[in-house]
Amino acid sequence: MSRVFKIALCVVVLVGTAGVVYNQEAGKEKKPAEKKADKPATHKVTAKPFKIELTVTGLLAGEEAAEIRFQPQPSLRPADGQGSLTIRKIAEHGATVKKGDLLAELDTTKLIEFIDNLDAEQKSLATNLKLAEEELPLAEASAPLDLAAAEHAKKRADQELKYFLDIAKSTIERETNMMVTSAKFQLEYAEEEMAQLKKMYKANDLTEETERMILRRQKHWIERIAFWHEMAVLDRDYILKYSLPEREKSLRDTQAKNELNWDKARKTTSLALAQKKAALTKMQQDYDKNASRLDKLRKDLAGMTLRSPMDGIVYHGRFHQGQWSASESLSTKLIPGGTVSPEEVFMTVVKPQPVVVFVSVDEKDVHLVKVGAEGTAKVTSRPDRKLAARVTKLSAAPSSPGKYAGLVQLQLGKDDADLLPGMACSIKFVPYAQKSAIVIASKYVHEEDGKDVVFVVTPTGKHEMRTVTKGRTHGDDTEIASGLRDGEEILIERPSAKSVKGGAP
């Protein structure tokens, strides 16, 4: 065979081989192979121990605690100096005290001064009250007499005015005129007598000296009578012009005044008496109120020296259900010279034994905790120590949003005396436990027409829907009380309806 022929033969073979390969690939494109379906994920059911654990945290506290504060007596008017109260003495935080020991002594200077002033006011009230008590019966006795006197004065004024107008005024006018007339008559008589004497002296033998003496005396008499006449005229004019009108006015004013007094006495005597009685009652009430206030303030004074109501440990601040309200500002405040306010709880005396724990349980877990449930407690500061615990109280309603308050009693030994209120601890409860139980993930259980179902893999590899009864659920796991057996296999996800034996899911 020639070399050219061999080369040609090789080319033909290569071309043929390429065509076969090309035809096979082309055939694959025309008829692709079928894709094999994925097998659904499953879970094999296995019986295993199952228990529910719940751990709650809380704070140690004594069963007995006494809040210490200055609590003034209730009063409508607080005394001066009952704002901020200055501390003179105070027990140290953490001090151990006995019943009756001094806890705090507050400054009483302002309150004592206020009490002294109020006491002086009370003595003045007592004097005024005694005076009013003495005056009231006298006023009651004199009231009818005063009324009668006013009536009598009114009648007397009426009579005097009537007498003056009817009789006295005209009589006085006549009398004054008569005095003038009489004086004038005497003057005329004396002048006539003087004229007669002069005539007689001319006809008799009297000596000139005797004559002069008699005539001078008669002349003097005439002058006196003339003066009397002049005075009588002046008196008459004054009486008629001034005295009588003034007297009439005075009598009329007196009559009007006595009539007003009588009218006033009739209208106000009983009211004035009632006013005195009301004033006495008010005075007695003020005295009683003042006495009551003094009594309360004296109790406040005694209460400003605070003593321990029981044996225990002193905590500065409010210590309630294991919660302690202490702060740095409180530590610098509760010293001699510091201040507290009335009603402020600034100290708590706690009886350290027996110790209880105040716990807070989440609403989602409260069904796991019952009164009487037992658990194991660990104190944070003593992690190696385990204490028996028992729930003694659980609130029937939430104590705060989403929380229930509980009380746990600890069983302490002789080596647990160092456990003190305020320490933190945790308590573990095991409310449910089974040595062998069918437990699966909660998400493997589905709901169908109000029933709980799972999808079980059959021996033929198909799936069937089966109703199950759930037991307890904890976290992501659910106990199956019935409907599944150990070793069975279930689908993790819900299958499509056409692949399920036993009905649509």
141-166: per-residue pLDDT in tens? Answer: 999 999 999 999 999 999 999 999 99
Residue 210 in 3-state DSSP?
A: helix
Q: pLDDT of the chain along its 505 residues, tens only? A: 444 334 343 433 343 444 433 344 444 444 444 445 567 899 999 999 999 989 998 888 877 889 999 988 887 566 655 678 899 999 998 899 999 999 999 999 988 999 999 999 999 999 999 999 999 999 999 999 999 999 999 999 999 999 999 999 999 999 999 999 998 998 888 888 888 888 877 766 656 777 778 888 888 998 998 999 999 999 999 999 999 999 999 999 999 999 999 999 999 999 999 999 999 999 999 999 999 999 999 999 999 999 999 999 898 888 777 677 766 667 778 899 999 988 888 999 988 776 788 888 999 888 888 999 999 998 888 888 888 999 989 988 998 898 888 888 888 777 777 788 878 889 999 999 999 999 999 999 999 999 999 999 998 888 899 999 999 988 889 999 999 999 999 999 998 765 555 544 4
Distances (CA, A) of 74 to 13, 119, 376, 409: 123, 19, 47, 38
Give yes or no for a contact between 438 and 383, defined as CB atoms under 8 angstroms apart.
Answer: no
CATH (residue range 435-501):
2.40.420.20
Report pLDDT digits (tens) over 48-95.
999 998 999 888 887 788 999 998 888 756 665 567 889 999 999 889
112-301 is classed in which CATH architecture? Orthogonal Bundle (1.10)
What pLDDT, in 10s, does the model give residues 185-225? 988 888 888 888 888 777 666 567 777 788 888 889 989 98
User: Are the C-beta atoms of 420 and 348 separated by less than 8 Å?
Assistant: no
Q: Can you give the pTM of this predicted structure?
A: 0.56
Where in the chain are the domains? 1-36, 112-301, 435-501
Contact predicate 394/369, CB 8 Å: yes
| b/e sequence 395-428, b meaning 16+ C-beta within 10 Å | eeeeeeeeebbbbbbbeeeeeeeebbbbbebbbe
CA–CA separation, 454 and 440 (whole Å) = 10
CA atoms 417, 421, 425, 431: torsion sign: positive
The closest of 386, 472, 476 to 431, measured between CA atoms, is 472
HEC string of 347-384 equals EEEEEEEEEEEEEEEEHHHHHHCCCCCEEEEEECCEEE
